Structure 1
Amino acid sequence: MINSATESHSGDYSCMGRRGYNFTGWTDKPKATLKAETRIIPAGGSVTLTCSVEGSTGWTFFWYEYGKYYYVVGSSGNTEPDGSIRVSEGGKYNCRGKRGDPGFYSEYSEYVTIQKTVSKPTVVLNPGSSLKEDKVNLVCRIQEGSYWTYEWRKNNLNYYQTSKIITADSGDYSCKGTTPNKPSLILQPNWSQIYSGEKVTLR
């Protein structure tokens, strides 16, 4: 029994209860909880993510996007003592807490998926083209981001999959863009520290 804890007693502790012949299970690490004010970012906006560890205080929080450190603007890295950050990009986010020095880490929170609303694409007449010509060059433009896959429709029917088309046919033309989700990297087992010689699996 430790009556007065000192630095020499530092370490990871767990406990269990016993009453008569009945035993409880061993305690688990506390787990961080991540909440989002909304899961859809409006065009040009941002959302607030809040990380907490129930039942205790004094935590510094670490943030991750797709399993990698998420750099927090205004901090020295990916940490945020207040437990709240604002994000303006879609992605899969999670967090965990650290308390003390050298530090006790909570379990990672569950992932929260945030989606970003982007502006609708616009169809523009390519510079140099003229409506008086036999053919026109139409371009599908999306302001936000890159790596879009484009799809054209003519008179509400599928037409081409490209960002630009050249056509001599009259009709109602529209386009849309899709972008693939970023891959996520998962570490198994989900250890906070890895030492030389240990084996882990990346998925």
Structure 2
Amino acid sequence: MIVFERADNVKINELNVGSVVDAVLTTEPNWSTFYSGEFVTFRCDMNEGENSDWEYKLNKNNESYLSIKKDKNSMLALNHSGEYQCCGHRRNSAQTKCSNTVTVSVSNKVVVTRRPNRPHVFSGETITLTCEVQGGETTEWKCDWNRDGSLVNRTNSKDWMFNISESSSGNYMCRCRRRDDWFSSTQWSEAFTLSVSDPNKPSLVLQPNWSQIYRGEKVTLRCEIQGGTQWTYEWRTTNRNSPSSSEYRIN
């Protein structure tokens, strides 16, 4: 038995066994999805004689891809999809056997999403960034977070919640690893730009705008803020039932 090892982002879609053959190609670990940095082991078993009786090669898309002598392991990087098959040539003989094929496809898209998802964010607000791994929704992840080329945080989940400050502006990228496998890693996501704005100071408007107001008259106080629409309001008054809207009417 000879072992071919590959590292990178691959997804094992199917194991096709056509006609009954003695040579068998298997993969370890037998996960449904692999990501960049993980190890994939192709095992080629001729099911005949000793390992030393055979010379092995790994074919990709029906073309010779890699030749390996007995008892040699090779760690390589998978970057593209393809159909893999191992073949063995028996020394001092014309006998050649080829295995079933294993179809491997790349699947590792990573994107950054945010909550709340609105165009304006301000200092003092709380935001949650999520590193979404395509095909890995049910996997438990540990993630690295990069801002403007520097590692700024590591989280034990795909979510990162933090309070926004003026220094939070920048281009964010993330990548994740399985919690139970340090060597597993996705590629870095595309950059996500976070722009932090300074909110304008609110202004208080009185309607009607009289210089003197007498007991029993009705007035409306309006709190106006330029920029953004999703505001909540707090009125400081002796009335405990003060509203949470932008207007406050006094009778």
Shared fold (TM-score, shorter chain, > 0.5): no
Higher strand content, 1 or 2: 2
TM bin (shorter chain) = 0.3 to 0.5
Query: Is the radius of gyration larger for structure 1 or structure 2?
Result: 2
TM-score by length of 2: 0.36
TM-score by length of 1: 0.43
